[in-house]
Amino acid sequence: MDKYELVGMVGEGSFGRVYKGRIIETDEIIALKIISKCGRSMKELASLRSECEVQRDLFHPNIIKMIDSFETEGDIVVVTEYANRELSEILSQEGYLDEIRARKIICDLVSALFYLHSTRVLHRDLKPQNVLIDDKGTAKLCDFGFARSMSTGTHVLTSIKGTPLYMAPELIEESPYDHNADLWSLGCIAYEMLVGATPFTTTSILHLVQLLRYETVKWPNFVSAACLSFLQGLLEKDPAKRLSWPQLLDHPFIKGSVIVSNEEGGENPLTSVLTTSQSNAKENQMKDLARRNSRSRSLSTTSNIALRPQEYRNVPTTVSKDADFNKKRGSADYRRLSNVTVENVGQKLGQIDLNFPDKNCVKMAGESLNRERYDSSKDGVLNSSCNSKSVDTHVPSPLEIEEWLAFVSQSLKEVLDNEIESMAQKGFVSMFTKALTTYGQSSKVTEYIARLLSLPFVSQTVTEEQMEKIKQVYVEVKAVPNLVYAIKLQTNCLDETETASCDDNVSAICELSDEQLLAIETGCVIITYLVHCDTCFLDQFCDALVMMHMATRLQFLLSQQVRRRKLRIVTDLVAILAQVLVKKPGNSKLVEEIVLLPPNSDSELHAMLTHSSGVLRTRTCYLLKLMARNCSKALQNIWSKELENDVESLEYDSDHSVRLAAEDALEELKKQPFFTHTSCDFDNER
């Protein structure tokens, strides 16, 4: 660092901090990206070093130039040329650009992409935030964290990386893809510059999938014919028909304005037309990869898209570093906090009738949130970069965990002492929801934060006005998605099943501790309550399941191992899935993927219908009713005589609620062609 002087900080994020600086010897203005090593895994550090290696070899006027990179004891430092503004900042201020100005930036980006693709490098995260504009108005591509250098024999990739609103349809569908995915993202940026919005604008990943599959792009009628043709060529959903190299260079909208260096084009550049043998090899690779994925894919294929978690490390706390939380466990304060249990929280949250989710009998004050105040584009999931199947591998130190436990316990005590208004403060609640992504691997931290988030809903002192503010804050800080992510961290053992045979017993591979199950249970209690409060929370829950690849985890949490040890988790999840079918029947594929995928789904349903818990039998009956109504084909695929007998026998259950639920389920099931109606004669005799 002796060669550089910091002038001021220009940006901060989960990656670290970016400073404007200067080279002392030459007085050249530069940018310094300082990434702390603290709390990062070896895998993360290797990825950061790989990003440096990719960018170190790139030399082009439309790509941010790396000047230097080095490591100190605690940081990785990357020194690059300095550019004034992000394209996203310009668009947020001006809305859109005129065609002449947009064309200049588009040509710069085409130049950068031609250079990258000619050297067999895919960027994989093109978006306005990764386009910098220097003081001369030149656009420069940056952030190569997801970039991939393809070996000569590799023609397609499958790992999903990027930002959903700019992802090509083939990535959303989990199909093999190539460099043409970058060209779709370029088309999205071009469209956004000209129109003021992305081609498919939504705050829901599920809605985005539907738009990409079934909707056509609304083309602007105020651009030139050449510009329109350019947009239509890049935003072709079929990658085989998409405008690509080398024809792209000759398109009239950009012809003659793209920088093509004589040095560009190494061995087998992606910008050249494939030979017959290369085309055959590419086709074989695509078939092979598609065949591998076909066993695990369903219509909800975007479930492999995972959030890049936001990190929150600098938490303001007055707790000293030598605080020992364990020593406080015998204190009166700790005993008081321990009374905020799953049982008493669940009882008070139980004012919602989870057994009758479709009877719409829940009347809560201010049931519909003010959606105009909810702007997910500010920090929403669709504007978060995604890394398929990635989980935050940061393992907090014991000291960090102890500090957080002490901090959360103190906050719990303050809220219990009638400081409930703090839960209506976005900054205060955000500290805890963000901490779930960084410290959520700690079962105790997750448990205590979930308890804290539950407190306003069990307090007797909260006014209706306060409750509305609190719920609005929970939407804005994405309490539900962060709780889902914490549950994902608690079930990381399931990652080992990705390399296991499909016939392996997941329960034998993943054995959760009692603390992990308690953390999951506490999280499920508050999630269940929130998704029944308002569809905003339900939307966020559905998106979180898709983006964090949670289907396998929820299948496991409904399994015998969890039913035997923590029944409340299963009953709450069944209630949530029923609510999805009641309020969001368009998301029925999510429920199918969790409940109705063979080979074990029929036996699991049988076990739930015959379980000793009347609550579980009741809720499973209502879930069956809703699946018969919304997931008939998938239910038919796993339906058996045993399940039919189970439901029919529950008409005579000793529990009145179970009998009612079974009658409702049978009423719907008997409308289905796969139901054999064997009990009709008996019913008539009776």
pLDDT at 130 exceeding the cut of 80: yes
- Show the beta-strand stretches assigned E in 170-241: none
Confidence of residue 80 (pLDDT cuts 50, 70, 90): very high
Q: What is the pLDDT of residues 285-306, one digit of tens each?
A: 767 766 655 544 433 333 333 3
DSSP 6: E
Give the end-to-end CA distance of the chain in Å, rounded to a whole number: 88
Q: Which pLDDT belongs to residue 158?
A: 58
pLDDT at 152: 62
Alpha carbon distance 447, 401 (integer Å): 12
State the helix-helix crossing angle for 641-650 and 601-609, rounded to 10 degrees: 20
Known catalytic membership, residue 135: no
How many CB atoms neighbour CB 503 within 10 A?
Answer: 6
List residues forming the annotated binding site for ATP: 33
pTM of this structure: 0.57
Distance CA 281, CA 176 (A): 13
State the pLDDT at residue 392.
41
> DSSP assignment of 137-163, as one string?
S-EEE---TT-EE--TT---B---EE-
pLDDT at 579: 95
* Mean pLDDT, range 355-360, rounded to an integer: 43
| 3-class secondary structure, 21 | strand
Quote the percentage of the chain above a pLDDT of 90: 50
Two tokens, residue 646: 């189970």
Domains recognised in the chain with CATH numbers: 4-81 (3.30.200.20), 85-150+157-261 (1.10.510.10), 335-350+395-496+511-534 (no CATH), 549-679 (1.25.10.10)
Residue 316 pLDDT: 30
Question: Residue 604: what residue type?
Answer: E
Residue 375's pLDDT is 35
**CA nearest neighbour of 52 among 74, 29, 73, 75:** 75
Residues 364-387: what's their mean pLDDT? Answer: 37
- Annotated binding residues: 33
Residue 167 reports pLDDT greater than 60: yes
List the single range of 279-283, 422-426, 465-469, 504-508 with lowest mean pLDDT: 504-508
Segment 47-76 mean pLDDT:
89
Q: What is the residue-averaged pLDDT of the chain?
A: 79
pLDDT score of 146: 81
507/445: higher pLDDT? 445
Q: How sure is the predictor about 428, in pLDDT bands with cuts at 50, 70 and 90?
A: confident
User: If you average pLDDT over residues 624-637, what whole number do you get?
Assistant: 94
Average pLDDT for 574-590: 94
Confidence of residue 60 (pLDDT cuts 50, 70, 90): very high
Does residue 105 contact residue 86 with C-beta atoms inside 8 Å? no
Residues 6+ apart with CB under 8 A from 182: 113, 116, 117, 122, 123, 124, 126
Residue 576: C-alpha distances to residues 357, 458, 590, 619, 672 (Å): 9, 20, 12, 10, 24
Instruction: Please name which of 486, 378, 390 lies closest in space to residue 434, comparing C-alpha atoms.
Output: 486
Q: Give 181-193 as a DSSP string.
A: HHHHHHHHHHHHH
| Residue 232 pLDDT greater than 60, yes or no | yes
Q: How confident is the model at residue 110 (pLDDT cuts 50, 70, 90)?
A: very high
Asked if pLDDT for residue 556 goes beyond 90, the answer is yes
**What is the predicted pLDDT for the residue at 393?**
43
Q: Which of 157, 151, 179, 149 minimizes the C-alpha distance to 286?
A: 157
Q: What is the mean pLDDT of residues 354-374?
A: 35
For the cut 50, the answer to whether the pLDDT of residue 368 exceeds it is: no
What was the pLDDT predicted at 406? Answer: 77
Who has greater pLDDT, 459 or 540? Answer: 540
- 452-456 contact pairs (CB < 8 A, 24+): 452/408, 452/411, 452/412, 452/415, 453/429, 453/479, 453/483, 453/526, 454/340, 454/345, 454/349, 454/522, 454/525, 454/526, 454/529, 455/340, 455/412, 455/415, 455/416, 455/420, 455/423, 456/415, 456/420, 456/423
566 backbone dihedrals φ, ψ, rounded to 5°: -145, 80
Phi and psi, residue 252, nearest 5° = -60, -25
pLDDT higher than 90, residue 387:
no
Mean pLDDT, range 321-338, rounded to an integer? 38
What is the mean predicted confidence (pLDDT) over 531-540? 94
Annotated catalytic residue within 108, 125, 543, 572 = 125
Q: Where are the alpha helices (DSSP H) in 395-442?
A: 398-416, 426-439
Provide the pLDDT confidence category of residue 268 given band limits of 50, 70 and 90. confident
> Six-digit token pair at 507?
């329960």
Per-residue pLDDT, averaged over 225-240, amounts to 96
198 pLDDT above the threshold of 90:
yes
At residue 11, the pLDDT reads 80
Indicate the range of 397-401, 403-407, 547-551, 608-612 predicted with least confidence.
397-401
Higher-confidence residue: 233 or 269?
Answer: 233
Residue 407 pLDDT grade (very low, low, confident, very high; cuts 50, 70, 90) = confident
342 falls in which pLDDT band (50, 70, 90)? low
Of the candidates 116, 109, 12, 111, the one whose C-alpha atom is nearest the C-alpha of residue 54 is 116
More reliable by pLDDT, 417 or 175: 175
Q: Which residues contact 434 (CB under 8 A, 6 or more apart)?
A: 310, 311, 312, 477, 482
State the amino acid at position 431 in one-letter form: M
Rounded CA-CA distance 122/147 in Å is 5
Percent of the chain with pLDDT over 70: 75
